[in-house]
Structure formats: C-alpha cells, structure tokens
Amino acid sequence: MLERLRRTSCPSPGPGQSHACIRPHHFVPLVGFLIPTVAIAYGVVLPRNGVCGANELTVGFATTLIGAAVTYIIGVVMAVRR
C-alpha cells in the first residue's frame, strides 16, 4: 500500500537541486481561458461596438489578459515549489 502513495512522478529534490516539476498540463486551464476570451473579445464584442484597430480599449484589454496570464503562471510556480 505504501508503494501506491510514493511520489514517483516528481521526486523531492536532493541538496542543491531545484524543484522543476512544472508540466504542460498545468497550463491547460490558462489556455482554456485565454483562447475563448481572445476569440470572443477581439472577434465579436469589440468589432461590434465600433472598436477597431489598436486603441486604448484593445491595448488595455490585452494588458489585462497578459496580467491574468502572468498571475496564473506565478501561482502555478509557487504551488509546484511547495
């Protein structure tokens, strides 16, 4: 029974080693958030409201998405290091 509970996919690092267990599957929720958000915002909502091209609204929305992505990545890194 103890063999089943053993962590083998991401073993604890030894002395002087870093903990590098961030895998691509950690970023699936981020991609699942960003792709529909960008598609709906820049493909449907903003063009229908007369907001075309690069202006304050489109750049501000892009900055918000970048901030959300950076926050998510920092959170994943902090959670994996624990």
- How far from the centroid of its chain's Cα atoms is residue 42's Cα? 19
pLDDT at 72: 97
pLDDT at 22: 85
- Report CA-CA distances (Å) from 18 to 12, 26, 76: 9, 18, 15
Give the pLDDT band of residue 3 (cuts 50, 70, 90). Answer: low
Domain-embedded: residue 70: yes
Domain-embedded: residue 18: no
- Is residue 58 within 8 A of residue 46, CB to CB? The reply is yes
Domain-embedded: residue 10: no
Task: State pLDDT tens for residues 18-57.
Answer: 556 888 899 999 999 999 999 999 999 888 888 778 888 8
Domain-embedded: residue 9: no
Count up the domains in the chain and report the number: 1
Domain-embedded: residue 66: yes
Domain-embedded: residue 74: yes
Domain limits for position 67: 23-81
Domain-embedded: residue 17: no
Quick one: how many helices (H) and strands (E) in the chain? 4, 0
Domain-embedded: residue 15: no
**Whole-angstrom distance, CA of residue 76 vs CA of residue 15:** 23
